Structure 1
Amino acid sequence: MSNSVLMQEITWPEFETKTKARAPFFLPVGATEQHGPHLPLGTDVFLPTHMAKEVAKRIGGVVAPTIPYGYKSQPRSGGGQAFPGTTSLAANTLTLVVCDVLHDLALHGVRRFVVVNGHVENAWPIIEGIDLALREMRRDGIADAEILRLEYWDFIKPETLDRLFPEGYPGIDLEHAALIETSLMLLIRPDLVDVPKTPTHGHAEFSAYDRYPVRPGLVPATGVLARATGASAEKGEWLATDHIEGITAAIRKEFDL
């Protein structure tokens, strides 16, 4: 009997036991996207997967394999598609992938789902995927499925943000590859953080609208949209504690665990 919370590491009888116990199944949805010269392309995969695993350990859940590609990177929240290595899906493709995974898990007995988003641009394609999956489930006679969708960064406590940003929080869009993500990566995968290459420039300056095609020079050349200096594993621990405790509490409340 495996003690792993990862779906790919358990057997089918163990999977079936979990579904009969109505265990929550987590589906992290990430991205393969540039995160500056100091963080790996898989940052948006590592972070939601870590949060899902830690919460699953606390509530007896299972973490399905993370979807590693997300919706197209946007200049004002992710730097954009022009950076080498950023490999994305069309919105409709991501929607259908989310739908198919949730629907297939439901056909195998899963009834409680937690979709954990790790990439700002994924939000609406995920919502559409959930909506379509529920329609598919109802068509197949599955009427008791429950799905929670969340962005892990929404669980940062105000007092933690005050500690991290005494001069004011720039917002999650500008935090791409900046203090929050760098601190979390220093906590969970320090081997993948090239600290000496951390950019030292300040916040990017954007208009309140988008223009197509994107003007050259709109995004900082580093791909980092806000201050990344000052990141540390200690700050990552503050953040991870908020994320894990907040998500755990929400799931316990919604699923009566």
Structure 2
Amino acid sequence: MIIETMTMVEFEEGLKRTRTVFVPFGSVEEHGSHLPLSTDTIQAYEVGKKAASMIPLFVAPPIHYGSCRSTSCHPGTISITTATLKALMKDIVRSLHIQGMKNFVILTGHAGGAHRMALQDAGEELLPEIPEIKIAVVTEYELACKEGKGIIETEGDAHAGEIETSRIMHTHPHLVKGMGEREFPSFPTGILVRNKRKYWQNGVWGDPTKATAKKGKSLEDLVVNKIVELVKVLEQFKD
């Protein structure tokens, strides 16, 4: 049940089937010279829509903006603060709860550390505020890496590399502009740098040359199946 395309009558009817909602978070962030700025959003939203075709599940409209620190100096990255991100998630969950939702699966296509922690912090703060809700916070990256070990050839692939290029080649091949170049940046240990692009020139962390649409489909199927499993576990979870 894709919320943005539903009428209020369809939404109300949907509540008779489930009180679980999938909320996809993404980013507007560089993904090398070959992938669109909305790569993270695309991946997260596609997973939600496919999961909703398998089980009763509401899918909220995606949140396109995220907190992007490491890529903040690259062209096209539009970042928000972690405080804004937390406030967005909390307001969205509160509003969905008023509309009848009780179980929340927050999947973020952007896996930046500060971004992920902000979403987790927001969830932790919501739990005591609204005792009847249940929340899960997961990232596309951790699911794809953990489940796709037999598919991914590139060790340490993390951003705009084999994984993400394969995913976009599968779902949105018309948005892939070439293949990009293999790159593994190196930031100075422990030192906060202003000009992050100096240490990460091309915006790739991995090897996009090993990407294929077939790998993308396999990876997406794995992530979708894990989300379906997570929904079922969350709905039965008792704290």
Q: 2:174 aligns with which of 165, 172, 191?
A: 191
CA drift at 1:133: 3.1
For each residue in 1:161-211, what CA deviation from the matched residue of structure 2 results, as whole angstroms up to 9, or x when unmatched?
Answer: 24422xx621xxx5211110000000010010012xx22334223343232
Equivalent residue runs for 1:218-233 within 5 Å: 218-220=199-201, 222-233=202-213
Match of 2:77 in 1: 86
Q: Quick one: which amino acid aligns to residue 154 of structure 1?
A: E
Rg larger for: 1
Q: 2:37 aligns with which of 27, 38, 41?
A: 41
Partner Cα separation in structure 1 for residue 89 and residue 147 of structure 2:
34
Check whether the contact 2:20–2:58 (CA below 8 A) recurs between aligned residues: yes
Equivalent residue runs for 1:9-48 within 5 Å: 9-48=5-44
The question of 1:169 aligning with 2:155 is answered: yes
The question of 1:253 aligning with 2:233 is answered: yes
Equivalent residue runs for 1:206-245 within 5 Å: 206-214=187-195, 217-220=198-201, 222-245=202-225
Q: Report the count of equivalent residues.
A: 235
Scaled by the length of structure 1, the TM-score of the pair is 0.84
Equivalent residue runs for 1:26-175 within 5 Å: 26-74=22-70, 80-121=71-112, 122-137=115-130, 143-156=131-144, 160-165=148-153, 169-170=155-156, 174-175=157-158
CA drift at 1:157: 6.8
| Structure 1 residues 55 and 118: alpha-carbon distance in aligned structure 2, compared to 1, 3 A threshold | same
Partner Cα separation in structure 1 for residue 9 and residue 126 of structure 2:
25
Provide structure 2 residue ranges, at least 5 long, that are not aligned to the other structure: none
For each residue in 1:145-164, what CA deviation from the matched residue of structure 2 results, as whole angstroms up to 9, or x when unmatched?
Answer: 11111112322376732442
CA RMSD of aligned residues (A): 2.0
> Quick check: 119-128 or 92-101, which moved more?
119-128
| Structure 1 residues 63 and 159: alpha-carbon distance in aligned structure 2, compared to 1, 3 A threshold | closer
Partner Cα separation in structure 2 for residue 56 and residue 154 of structure 1:
21
Check whether the contact 2:74–2:197 (CA below 8 A) recurs between aligned residues: no
CA drift at 1:88: 1.1
Q: Quick one: which amino acid aligns to residue 179 of structure 1?
A: E
Match of 1:180 in 2: 163
Check whether the contact 1:111–1:145 (CA below 8 A) recurs between aligned residues: yes
What secondary structure sits across from 2:106 in the alignment? Answer: strand
Scaled by the length of structure 2, the TM-score of the pair is 0.90
Partner Cα separation in structure 2 for residue 254 and residue 59 of structure 1:
13
Check whether the contact 1:16–1:109 (CA below 8 A) recurs between aligned residues: no
CA drift at 1:216: 5.8
Partner Cα separation in structure 1 for residue 3 and residue 38 of structure 2:
20
> Quick check: 118-127 or 208-217, which moved more?
208-217
Check whether the contact 1:35–1:177 (CA below 8 A) recurs between aligned residues: yes
Provide structure 1 residue ranges, at least 5 long, that are not aligned to the other structure: 75-79, 138-142
Q: Quick one: which amino acid aligns to residue 128 of structure 1?
A: D
For each residue in 1:45-88, what CA deviation from the matched residue of structure 2 results, as whole angstroms up to 9, or x when unmatched?
Answer: 100001111112211111111110001231xxxxx211121111
Percentage of pairs with the same residue: 26
What secondary structure sits across from 1:59 in the alignment? Answer: coil
Partner Cα separation in structure 1 for residue 62 and residue 72 of structure 2:
21
